[in-house]
Amino acid sequence: PESPEEWQQYALSDEQVDFFKENGYVAGVPLLDDEQIQTLRDELERFFDPDHDGRDLWYEYHANESSSDDSVLFHSLGAWRISKAFHDVLWNPSFLVPASQLLAAVADESAFASNGALPQHNGKAPVRFWHDQLFCKPARHGSVVAWHQDYSYWTRTHPMAHLTCWTGLDRATTENGCMHYVPGSHRWDLLPLTDLADNMEAIHDVLSDEQEAQFDPVPVELEAGEATFHHPRLVHGSYENRSDRPRRGLVLNVIRDGVQSATDEQILEGVPAIPEGEKMEGQFFPLLFDPQEAEQREAQTA
């Protein structure tokens, strides 16, 4: 995009941002067209062969994260390092503009006032890449992704200013294992980690009575190419795929610029450690969108 109007076409409405703040998610955001979907599907197909080119570049690769051969969950991190298509999708403006708006809603700006972070600008936050994921459930025997909060897995980074975007590479329905959310659970405290790929209901072992009373999941069905964005503390999960169709999903996880390492240990497999307290940045965590810089560039071309 080269003008404010061109950028604005990708922006969420005030009503959508308010819905996110109230419920912890916003769904049905158009992200990919048919050609982009097919390109990503074709690239994904070769990843199912464990001996594919670039296999040593994955942060994680699980041909089946479930413990059962009869229930399959393909899960991987790092496709952007292996495939040009999965790399280029990170800079899709239909992803970056909503992500910038919603990160501004997630982040506590007081935490970024003095740590070298780029500033918010006109209600948008600077977007830095965290990591991608692929979650694929084959037809008829796709496994669950059990209830969890994403930030429970991400405490090696802080402060919490993260955002998840889940995009369907297939139509996602209740029959083939679409995402389910627990609205309002983004206001809960951080929960302990429980089982991810076998016991769908393991989270109930760690919920309080008040949380149990509020636990009322809603399904979020999507057309292929549509996305849902959710808060890092929102409880979510997905049930089995018992349909005759696959359910393939691309996840893009981002952080507000200024999020720091919370450990001296390696944050992702194969990535050099970032010392505790230092900003997440560099070639593995590129800055995807700076709203202030984008506006200045637009002004120069106007």
Residue 124 has pLDDT above 70, yes or no: yes
Rounded mean pLDDT, 233-253:
97
Give CA–CA dist 224/19, Å, rounded: 22
Record the pTM.
0.95
The pLDDT of residue 144: 94
Residue, of 246 and 1, whose pLDDT is higher? 246
Distance CA 231, CA 274 (A): 25
Q: Which two three-digit tokens encode residue 49?
A: 């062969």
Residue 200 placed within a domain: yes
- 170: tokens are 């297939």
Find the CATH number of the domain harbouring 295: 2.60.120.620
Position 99 confidence tier, pLDDT thresholds 50, 70, 90:
very high
Query: Pick from 85, 105, 90, 144: which is nearest to 25 by CA?
Result: 105
193 domain-assigned: yes
Q: Which of 92, 248, 282, 233 is nearest to 177 (CA)?
A: 248
Q: Does the residue 92 lie in any domain?
A: no
pLDDT single digits (tens) 244-253 = 999 999 999 9
Residues 6+ apart with CB under 8 A from 31: 92, 94, 95, 165, 167, 225, 226, 227
Phi then psi for residue 15, to 5 deg, are: -65, -40
Of the candidates 7, 273, 36, 243, the one whose C-alpha atom is nearest the C-alpha of residue 122 is 7
pLDDT tens digits along 8-62: 899 999 999 999 999 999 999 999 999 999 999 999 999 999 899 999 999 999 9
* Pairwise CA distance, residues 200 & 37, whole Å: 29
Rounded Cα gap, residues 34 and 40, in angstroms:
10
Residue ranges making up the domain that contains 285: 1-24+123-264+272-302
Total number of domains in the chain: 1
Q: Please indicate, yes or no, if residue 73 is contained in any of the structural domains.
A: no
CA distance 47 to 113: 42
